[in-house]
Structure 1
Amino acid sequence: MNVSGFRRTTSDYLRSVCHSIGFGLHRVGPGRDQVCERTRLSRLLAQAESALSPGTVIDVGAACGDFVETCSRVFPAASYVMVEPLVEYRRLLQEIERRHPRSRYICAAATSHAGDIVINVHPDLVGSSVLRETEQGTGVNGVPRTVPAVTIDGLVQQTRARGPFLLKIDVQGAELDVLEGAARTLEETEYILCEVSLFKFFESGPEVLDVTTYMKRRGFVMYDLGGMQYRPLDNALSQIDIAFVKETGPLRQRHEYATPEQRADQDRRIRASLSGRVLPR
């Protein structure tokens, strides 16, 4: 079999197996592997919807407000706090405030302390960070800017936000600083969606293991994955969104894989997808 034929056969096989267990596969770009539909934000949130009823959703690193727009369709009864330090996004977030009466926009950077902090405003805006990137020769770190700094615990007290909380954190390397400033809030939090890096993109920034270890110490474990991003350098997986939940929370009450009926049905479908590829019993 030639290489292209092998790729087609492998692709067809993976698609059929994933379909048999309830997933879909779609190519996301040249040179990239395929990803499951469940990695979309709306699917991640919908998966947790049955066990969660957040009183307040706190969006740290709100940018254009896309997360709040999506999340509010899944949890329409929740209140929303959008934390974003870049004034370039102000008009968009104020518009969301107008459309969603229970939302509030705070123009500040969430970190481990209140006061001021310097953020490096990147040319693309979305990569802006309080940490500097390790990349050389590209001007990626942009222009430093002093912005107000707040803690999540302080914001919760200031806004009188009520739990339980759902946190989303997208802060380009400053994840642990945000979490350090949210110690009390985490006690009332059941779900955290956090973007993490697989490489040392930021000076002093954490990688996946650092974040998962920290979360484990706080009583949270990985529950779901999404938002796969691939770096242009070599198409390697570079950043992912990890959904963390309380280790003993409502989303982890059962640890078996399937009911007997579900297991039998899955076995039949997988065996059917393998027909002609493996030896019969």
Structure 2
Amino acid sequence: MIGAVDEPARATSRLAARVKDALRPLAAALPQLSALPSWPRSMRVLKHHGFSPASVFDIGVAYGTFPLYRAFPDAFYYLVDPAKESLAYMQRLSGQLRCEVHAVALGDRDGEADLEVRADIQESTLLGEIGPRSVRRMDRVPLRRFDSLFTRIARPALCKIDVQGAELMVLSGMTGRLAEIDALVIETSTIATVVGGAEVEGVVRFLGDHGFCLADIVGLRRRPLDGATAQLDLLFMPRHAALFRDRRWAATP
């Protein structure tokens, strides 16, 4: 009787294995099989491990980081972007989120800096571009260190940084408060396209020296020049985070 009961289960398992083998050559084209990076997928991983931020710092807002707002609608947001065009978007977001708006650039010192404003404000940068670009104008903008601008941080805290090559400048200005950040999502480059721009190796090394580990790839962009991967959105968390404590590959069947 036991064998009769087990046989349908074994047949189902064999069928599933055959289907998986048949689909294997197509895995790279099927998101669910290839586990392609995505904001919703990475945010679900954080939630699975009980992460629910009280504070979210959106550094480099441009038009808005909507996958982040959808994932954590109850958090308090600090919206930071120096571009004049972005201010209108941040003010509009203030009607949808609990937030503060800061029309400043973040860096490794307090003072001022030149911002190269692009036709697409999402590409505006404190650093000079390598190669052709469409520049709207140069603006002189206030520059602040994160740790002098934000003196109280409600935990848990998540910080997203998208600053077109100036990631290490921003991180250097966070050192006084970095221990109070529980997750970082940083856009950085595999191939920097701005003069002196940060690249993945330097960002990983800096954060490793401050107790953070790479936890996930949230997204990627390829450059139009040749289709090479040029930018990655990377999730970092402290070494002691819950995500790293569970070392299993899969749950017990």
TM-score in terms of structure 1 length: 0.76
Give the 3-state SS of the residue equivalent to 1:98 in structure 2. coil
2:24 is matched with which residue?
13
Structure 2 residue aligned with 1:48: 46
**Counterpart selection for 2:147 from 116, 131, 153:** 153
Rate the CA distance shift 1:14–1:225 in 2: closer, same or farther, 3 A. farther
What is the correspondence of 1:142-221 to structure 2 with a 5 Å cutoff? 143-157=137-151, 160-221=152-213
Q: Indicate the residue corresponding to 1:266 in structure 2.
A: none
Provide the TM-score with structure 2 as the length reference.
Answer: 0.84
Matched, 1:86 2:83: yes
**Contact 2:86–2:121 under 8 Å retained in 1:** no
Q: Unmatched 5+ residue regions in structure 2?
A: 1-20
Moved more, 53-62 or 141-150: 141-150
1:134 aligns with 2:130: yes
- Deviation track 1:128-163 (CA, whole Å, cap 9, x = no partner) reads 11111122xx24455321111122112222xx4422
Distance 2:28 2:79 in 1: 40
Quick one: percent identity of the two aligned structures?
Answer: 29
What amino acid is the match of 1:115? G
Output the CA distance in 1 between the equivalents of 2:228 and 2:27.
Answer: 25
SS at match of 1:99: coil
Amino acid at match of 1:24: Q
* Structure 1 counterpart of 2:247: 255
Residues 128 and 249 (structure 1), Cα distance of their counterparts in 2 relative to 1, 3 Å cut: same
Contact (CA 8 Å) 1:53, 1:75: kept in 2 or not?
A: yes
State the partner residue of 1:96.
Answer: 93
Task: Give SS of 1:134's match.
Answer: coil
- The residue identity in structure 2 corresponding to 1:126 is Q
Q: Which residue of 2 aligns with 1:31?
A: none
Equivalent position of 2:7 in the other structure: none
Partner of 2:117: 121
Q: Across the two proteins, how many residue pairs are aligned to each other?
A: 232
1:123 counterpart letter in structure 2: A
| Equivalent in the alignment of 2:63 | 64
CA offsets per residue over residues 44-74 of structure 1, 9 Å max, x none? 1121113312221000001111x2x332332
CA distance in 2, matches of 1:181, 1:216: 16
Q: Secondary structure at the match of 2:93?
A: helix
Alpha carbons 1:132, 1:141 under 8 Å: kept: no
Tell me the amino acid that sits aligned with residue 184 of structure 1: G
Q: Counterpart amino acid of 1:63? A: A
**Amino acid aligned to 2:24:** Y
Where do residues 263-278 of structure 1 align in structure 2 (5 Å cutoff)? none
Letter in 2 for 1:60: I
Write the distance in 1 (CA, Å) between the matches of 2:27 and 2:199: 33
Q: Which runs of 5+ in 1 are unaligned?
A: 1-9, 26-34, 262-281
User: How many angstroms apart in 2 are the aligned matches of 1:248 and 1:123?
Assistant: 42
Q: Which amino acid aligns with 2:143?
A: A
Q: CA deviation at 1:12?
A: 4.6
Mapped contact 2:63–2:122 kept (Cα < 8 A): no
Instruction: Judge conservation of contact 1:18–1:24 (CA < 8 Å) in 2.
Output: no
Task: Report the CA distance between 1:41 and its aligned residue.
Answer: 1.4
